[in-house]
Structure 1
Amino acid sequence: MNLRHKDLYIPKEKTEDPFANCKLERKPYAQILTQIVSNYADGFVLAINNPWGEGKSTFVKMWQQQLCNEGYTTLYYNAWENDFEKDVLVALISELAEIKNKPVNTFNKVIDKVVPLTSKLLPLIAKHMAKRTIGDEATNSIIEGVVEYGAQELKDEIKSYTSKKKSIQDFKDTLEVFVNEVGKEKPVIFIIDELDRCRPNYAVEVLEQIKHLFSVPGIVFVLSIDKIQLGHAVKGVYGNDNIDSNEYLRRFIDIEYSIPVPNKRLLCNYFYEYFEFSVFFKTTYRERRNNNDSYNFIELSHKLFSKTNLRIRQIEKIFAHARLALKSFGNKETVFPKLFLLLIFLKNHHSNIYNNIKVKKYTLQELIDTFENLLPNKITDDEYSNPILYTIVELAVFYHNYYQKENHPKLNVLKKDNELKETLAFNSKFDKSENQQILIGHYYNLKRKYILENLNIHSLIKKIDLLEPIS
């Protein structure tokens, strides 16, 4: 059984589809991006901007292979794995060295031109050029934090500035010749991944090097980023919250693209299969009992996660946790899969609510209100008729039994009012039926199957917290 999702296998053969194992139907987006880079071969910076945990790395690796299959020269650089490297310029040039069948003589010329740019004066030039990018006011703030140079050293730097500026242009001219020879009428695609996870200084330096040294016709940079996190890095480096990080990044990024949010049903079905839930739910004993646990588990996952903003990796971790916790259930133990999944969701993403349940902080109505407030209000009644409303009933019954103390007066979840009408001891904003008849029907359905007094949320919590033996 897998506890962690492994990298998807991406076929390397040109005759195979790099997206063959993609369960999120993202191939069309790669085709659109290929059309973009093919139509603007003069060179630009493309940012694929999605939050962390949305599968950007897997997507760009698949797209890279698709580009290779179509005859593009591509490079992939994981900035986070390489931010130990002090000199960004050396790291980026080293990636160019990895190009197969490159024109050796031209590449050696690129190396010759890069040597004068690796001295301590390069950061000074970058700061000078940054003035054009972020403006005078922000530049003045930056200068205040820069270590002062001695008078003589400053004179030497000023004297050498003109020659350094020429060295930069010589490097760019030589690089342009190189990438045009390599690309053969197609742009070289240089993918930089995980930039937003790097040390802030390193991330900003990568951006500045791309802008000031590598922006030449014939090379397209693809930045796989979380723009919000990268913006925090920019502000951290320059030590000034007055800097408009969006404006700063806009100067580096020419086109911004976001991969659409995946279909949550496809995602849940994939993780259900990947983590082999059917091995547990489809045992002979459970099948013989005509058990619907498998259906109930996946049905609630579709509804619950389609109404929340969880990312791919967050949903993956919920499924992994659930699969591990299931190993503590005996063959004849009932899982109550909907409530089980709901509690794991709360533990992983609303731990304060989960912990308050454990210490019996909520009244029954407070708990129902707290859970329902996690979900959007504007939902049709039929969407909540099943399975969310059924899960609410299970939550109420299981928590109510756990909440009661020995000397506490009993309060049934279902009671009769003065007119002897059956009513619930709590209200749900999602049950729009008269007198909450849908919830009452679910209550009786649960009562037909189980002895309600024996249902206690503490038994599920122990398994979810991994406090019982695992088989």
Structure 2
Amino acid sequence: MWYNAWESDYNEDALMPIINEIYNQDSFEDKKEEIKKKTVNLLKYVGKNITKKIITEKFGKEIEEVLNSIKEHGLNAEKLEEILRENPSNKYFDEFLQFKEVKDKFTGFLQELSSDKKIIFFIDELDRCRPTFSIETLEIIKHFFNINNFIFIIALDMEQLSYSVKTIYGKNMDTCGYLRRFFDLHFKIPKPKVIDYVEFVLKNNNLNIKNYNFIENISNIFDKLGLSLREINSILKNYQLVLDTSLRPYIENNEYLVLEVYLYLITLKYKEPYYYNVILYKSFIQEGNSPGNLLENPIAIPKNIFEPTPNIKKFS
């Protein structure tokens, strides 16, 4: 199953989109009603406000006293549950125990679904989601889908996801330690050479630009600015719009120097808008001329931006 988390992070909770992917699978056609029933029962207790609802609103500051008492008396989970069941007057603990019972039934149902097959989830774009949704998705997977034959393969930028964690838990959070507990195996996919990716995107978008010097130069710009593949893709999409609307004659006339300048400006506008405005408003010092209309801090454009990167692969 393929799940694009970025397309679902408008949801208030992270559980429903994952269950929806299971529900929509043809192989579970005969289980749809049961999936719906189990999900409805579970969603009574689960959602983005479950922690706030059960702990903050219900327990308030008392939860800290409860946790300290548990630690002090060395109670394990089974003993704690036994004590709670002996005190039915506490409706909040009753709610928690009901949630645990529903959760156990739900995970048991998932085990039945995967008893004779492996269910593999490919999750993409999780690092692009809003921080709360990203973290909640990982927590949902850990708590509800930690089941034999349920396998989650998550493609993400771990560094970017670490920033999301820090926005929630603070900059001093051990993000590596926190995220490590969600993943059993970690593989780093080698980053392709920039020029190879540029060539791929240009061909994939039917730009038909086969001038080697042009491809080498723009790849060199992307490389020097340290752009990610995602950023390169976004810039080239914007560039294609400009080509289709006003720059097509330059391709037909092989005026690639003009095309390079336009692409450089689009890249600068995307990556470094301040420097783009410096150029746009001519707020830089030109050699042999007096400065005019300067911004507060005039800058000089690096001269080596168009110099080729060593050992760059030839276009074929």
Smaller-chain TM-score range?
A: 0.5 to 0.7
- Alpha carbons 2:111, 2:148 under 8 Å: kept: yes
**How far is 1:163 from its partner?**
4.2
Q: Does 1:156 align with 2:91?
A: yes
3-state SS of 2:28 partner? coil
- Alpha carbons 1:346, 1:354 under 8 Å: kept: yes
Q: Does 1:215 align with 2:140?
A: no
**2:243 equivalent among 323, 330, 340:** 323
Change over 3 Å in CA distance of 1:122–1:307 after alignment to 2: closer
Alignment-derived partner of residue 336 in structure 1: 257
Change over 3 Å in CA distance of 1:236–1:368 after alignment to 2: closer
- Alpha carbons 1:356, 1:362 under 8 Å: kept: no
Q: List per-residue Cα deviations over 1:38-87 (Å, max 9, x = no partner).
A: xxxxxxxxxxxxxxxxxxxxxxxxxxxxxxxxxxxxx1222232233334
Alignment-derived partner of residue 284 in structure 2: 361
**How far is 1:249 from its partner?**
1.6
- Alpha carbons 1:296, 1:338 under 8 Å: kept: no
AA at the equivalent of 1:296: N
Alignment-derived partner of residue 294 in structure 2: none
- Alpha carbons 1:116, 1:164 under 8 Å: kept: no
Q: Distance in 2 between matches of 1:345 and 1:307?
A: 12
Q: List per-residue Cα deviations over 1:160-187 (Å, max 9, x = no partner).
A: 4344324323322221121123x2xxx2
Q: Does 1:200 align with 2:131?
A: yes
Alignment-derived partner of residue 110 in structure 2: 175
Q: Which has the higher contact order (CA 8 A, sep 6+)?
A: 1
AA at the equivalent of 1:175: L
- Alpha carbons 2:23, 2:35 under 8 Å: kept: no
Q: Does 1:311 align with 2:224?
A: no
Q: Distance in 1 between matches of 2:48 and 2:196?
A: 48
**How far is 1:213 from its partner?**
1.0
Alignment-derived partner of residue 43 in structure 2: 118
Q: List per-residue Cα deviations over 1:329-375 (Å, max 9, x = no partner).
A: 59779553586254554444334334334515134499777243x68
Q: Does 1:241 align with 2:176?
A: no
Q: Does 1:370 align with 2:295?
A: no
- Which has the larger helix fraction? 2
- Alpha carbons 1:321, 1:344 under 8 Å: kept: no
**1:297 equivalent among 214, 218, 224:** 214
3-state SS of 2:114 partner? helix
Q: List per-residue Cα deviations over 1:195-248 (Å, max 9, x = no partner).
A: 23333333322222111111100010122323333333333344x434322222
Q: Distance in 1 between matches of 2:126 and 2:12?
A: 15
Structure 2 residue ranges without an equivalent (≥5) = 63-87, 289-297
Change over 3 Å in CA distance of 1:314–1:147 after alignment to 2: same
Change over 3 Å in CA distance of 1:259–1:375 after alignment to 2: farther
Q: Distance in 2 between matches of 1:121 and 1:273?
A: 46
Alignment of 1:40-55 (within 5 A): none
**2:11 equivalent among 69, 81, 85:** 85
Q: Distance in 2 between matches of 1:194 and 1:330?
A: 34
**How far is 1:112 from its partner?**
4.7
Moved more, 77-86 or 333-342: 333-342
Alignment-derived partner of residue 65 in structure 2: none
Change over 3 Å in CA distance of 1:301–1:86 after alignment to 2: closer
- TM-score if structure 1 supplies the norm length? 0.47
**How far is 1:307 from its partner?**
4.5
Q: Distance in 1 between matches of 2:189 and 2:41?
A: 40
**How far is 1:267 from its partner?**
2.3
**How far is 1:159 from its partner?**
3.1
Alignment-derived partner of residue 182 in structure 2: 252
- TM-score if structure 2 supplies the norm length? 0.66
AA at the equivalent of 1:209: I
Alignment of 1:428-447 (within 5 A): none
What is the identity percentage for the equivalent residue pairs of Structure 1 and Structure 2?
28
Q: Distance in 2 between matches of 1:102 and 1:275?
A: 37
**How far is 1:124 from its partner?**
8.6
**How far is 1:189 from its partner?**
0.7
3-state SS of 1:101 partner? helix
Q: List per-residue Cα deviations over 1:396-424 (Å, max 9, x = no partner).
A: xxxxxxxxxxxxxxxxxxxxxxxxxxxxx
**How far is 1:300 from its partner?**
1.9
Q: Does 1:349 align with 2:271?
A: yes
Change over 3 Å in CA distance of 1:322–1:176 after alignment to 2: same
- Alpha carbons 1:235, 1:245 under 8 Å: kept: yes
Alignment-derived partner of residue 155 in structure 2: 224
